[in-house]
Amino acid sequence: MKRAEQATAEGILYTDEYQLTMAQLYYRMGLHEKKAQFEYFFRSYPDYGSHRAGYCINAGLEWLLDWMQEARFRDEDIDYLRSQTGRTGKPLFDDDFLDWLRRYGTFEGITMRAIPEGRVVHPNVPLVVIQGPLAMAQILETPLLNHLNYPILVATKAARIRESGRGRLLLEFGLRRAQERAALAGARAALIGGADFTSNVGISHVLGYPPKGTHAHSMVQVFMALGGGELEAFRAYAEVYPDDCLLLVDTVNTLESGLPNAIKVFEELRRKGHEPVGIRLDSGDLAHLSIQAAKMLDEAGFPNTVIVLSNQLDELVIWEIITQIEKEAPRYGVDPDRLINRLVYGVGTRLITSQGASALDGVYKLVAVQDGGQWTPAIKVSETPEKTINPGYKHVWRLYDRRGKATADLLSLEDEDPRTMETVLLHHPIEHTTYRILRRDEIAEIEPLLVDVLEEGRLVYDLPSIEEMRRVREVDLERLDPGVRRLINPHVYHVSLTERLWDLKQDLIRSLKQRGRR
């Protein structure tokens, strides 16, 4: 795509056609500037097939805001819409609507509350609440979903991979296998969720992180094709990068060629006064090879070199590697804990595409419409009860127990504040007879989760740095119950409704079913 085309494709027309046909309908009916309230939430944790997440990490907000700030209907966008025709060849969009779009079709009327990036989040909790004129809030649906669904998915996967790697250094390597431009939002989300660095140069520059990387098999191949060998290639690398020498040892044969050659070069380096960084293993049995590599490096006097592992890693593969090292390393006289602590993980495909769960099921649902100055709650029922939305203007609270662990997220009506309640009733969102009652003294803290982000288009929120988001993520993970953090079969975290919200939901379902019969 050419740059000029990209500006068109990624501008205000980065939405679905039906958002525009609906906007015109609202305009025609005089509803386009009626205040509406939409909520963004996801319905279920990513399910990777053999395992599923017990929490998500929120991400994507800042880039959504960047998009909203720049998106507007340019003359050429309006001209394009004017050229669209319906089945009979008549224009699909009328001039008066297009004039309105040209003049007022921005997000300057949008008020937004949101949960900050980096926070632990759960299904059915509004992560973003939009208030604004119906037509523009409707057009926002698709780009908002597009900007949030994917980053949450990747931040979540990164957090899981970091957990399985016991917090050891995690490098994001996914640009080549990413779903094209998703590589950029993906690298950013990976950093928020748990990666320490990325190999992606451009996004590192933009985000202010140093990019990481060493060399590929092709470098060794070049030397071999020209009549040299792996040793010459390693020597060349050590010569150019004497203080940053990390060698990929599996181009020919890891144990017979790569490691002996690397050690030879490391010894030469040391004689010249430089300390090598380490090696990378990119194929074969990574657990077995890392034990052998550790043994050889230790015996050669390089116990402080790192061992970078890559090749189709994800949280389960890393977990298995560590488990195998714990079992097998002692047999070879290698201390498993020392070895695990010198490992670094380079994770590509399975992180950047969230393999196994390639999409988050985030949705953007109308929850209220302003009518005569009052917010009228809106609902959509579904034959699947889980898909019936929680209606109305709401607040979101996180309750911590006396251990300091988060025990539930609570959705309340606009005028409710559980901090002032003596006892808090937490109603199951679907099951009629399931609820918990907590006394105030059983609750250590009640924290509101939504912060004000936009007030009628104006940014009223201090955007945190990626480093701040990473700290928020660490704190939130520490405050999760270990059962919820579990990689496989995690404990289900409670997302509950206050009694009044529960009652409102039931009332609306009943009245809708009666109306449906009319």
Placement of tokens 């004689």 in the chain: 271
Distance (Å, whole) CA 437 – CA 47: 30
Distance (Å, whole) CA 426 – CA 435: 5
In one-letter notation, the amino acid at residue 98 is L
Distance (Å, whole) CA 51 – CA 152: 17
Nearest residue to 219 via CA among 201, 235, 204, 198: 235
Residues 10-49 that bind a copy of itself (CB under 8 A): 10-11, 13-22, 24-26, 28-29, 31, 36, 38, 49
Nearest residue to 130 via CA among 157, 102, 117, 111: 111
Residues 222-251 that bind a copy of itself (CB under 8 A): 222, 224-227, 229-230, 236-237, 239-241, 243-244, 251
Placement of tokens 């079969």 in the chain: 489
Which helix (DSSP H) or strand (DSSP E) does residue 504 occupy? helix 499-517
Least separation, in Å, of the C-beta of 134 and a copy of itself? 7
Number of residues that bind a copy of itself (CB under 8 A): 133
Least separation, in Å, of the C-beta of 292 and a copy of itself? 14
> Listing from the earlier edge strand, what are the strands of the sheet with 423-427?
435-439, 423-427, 494-497, 406-413, 394-401, 443-448
Encoded tokens for 390: 């929680």
Least separation, in Å, of the C-beta of 56 and a copy of itself? 15
91 binds a copy of itself (CB under 8 A): no
Residues 378-437 that bind a copy of itself (CB under 8 A): 378-384, 387
Binding a copy of itself by CB under 8 A: which of 201, 437, 444, 488?
201
Burial of 328 (0-12, 13-18, 19+ CB in 10 A): middle
Nearest residue to 155 via CA among 474, 490, 399: 474
**Which part of the chain contacts a copy of itself (CB under 8 A), choosing from 112-120, 292-300, 412-420, 508-516?**
508-516
Residues 330-389 that bind a copy of itself (CB under 8 A): 349, 353-356, 358-362, 365-366, 368-369, 371, 376-384, 387
Least separation, in Å, of the C-beta of 99 and a copy of itself? 17
Nearer to a copy of itself among residue 382 and residue 420 (C-beta) = 382
272 binds a copy of itself (CB under 8 A): no
Nearer to a copy of itself among residue 274 and residue 405 (C-beta) = 274
Residues 173-192 that bind a copy of itself (CB under 8 A): 173, 175-186
Dihedral Cα 94, 98, 104, 105, nearest 10 deg: 110
Distance (Å, whole) CA 168 – CA 338: 12
145 binds a copy of itself (CB under 8 A): yes
Nearer to a copy of itself among residue 359 and residue 444 (C-beta) = 359
Least separation, in Å, of the C-beta of 294 and a copy of itself? 20
Binding a copy of itself by CB under 8 A: which of 124, 199, 305, 412?
199
Binding a copy of itself by CB under 8 A: which of 204, 290, 407, 496?
204
Least separation, in Å, of the C-beta of 277 and a copy of itself? 7
